[in-house]
Homo-oligomer: A and B are copies of this chain.
Amino acid sequence: MWKYRTPGIPDEDFNQNDKVPGPTKEEIRVLTISKARLREGFVVVDIGCGTGGLTVEAALQVAPTGKVFALDEKEEAIELTESNVAKFGVQNTVQMIHGKAPQVLSDLPPLDAVLIGGSHSLREVIQTAHQKLKPTGRIVVNAILTETAVTALDEIKRLNFKEVDVTQVFVAKGKAVSGGTMMLSRNPITITSATKE
């Protein structure tokens, strides 16, 4: 259980396994949740939930009256996210969906925020997200591939999203070693976010 109101659960507190990527690293998770601009009662979808890091953090922000739909194509990701949802006590706020993004997305109710962690059909997913978002709803795309960052931004601009923000983040973490503190780099992430008009 996370007993704080601020996002930022340490990475090691999540159940993890080798078959599923993630969790999204703590600092990137915190910034992603911030860019989504959440509050209690909001309805959110986490596309490609993986380990469930973003799902859990989003759920803690929108609970108890809000809802997070956690979506993944992989059975293993669904199971792992479920275990983390249980670990952090947000079962009543999260609904798991095993399926592919653009299709499943269109069956969801109107959304306040869409979190996208990369996808094979990124443009379609962003288009469907745009349709499903309520006015003033937020989209946040996390890209680890340079091409994904450029495609996401291009599609977001094409759909006339407003308040477009592109934030590239490099994080290095200090590790105590003999003689001092070694900085170990994380891979850079580009977080692209915007508001539906």
Residue positions of A touching B, CB distance < 8 A: 3-8, 26-27, 30-31, 33-40, 61, 118, 120, 144-150, 153, 164-174, 176-177, 179-188, 190, 192
Main secondary structure of the interface of A (DSSP, over half): mixed
**Is B3 a contact of A147 with CB atoms below 8 Å?**
no
B181 touches A145 (CB 8 A): yes
B39 with A3: CB separation less than 8 A: yes
Take A144-B182, A146-B149, A187-B184 as given contacts and tell me if A5 and B61 are in contact as well, using a CB distance cutoff of 8 Å. yes
Which residues in B have their C-beta under 8 angstroms from that of A5? Answer: 5, 38-40, 61
| A44 smallest CB distance to B (angstroms) | 11
Query: In the complex, A148→B179 CA distance in Å?
Result: 8
The CA of A183 and the CA of B69, in the complex, are separated in Å by 29
B169 touches A171 (CB 8 A): yes
Cβ contacts under 8 Å, A36 to chain B: 6
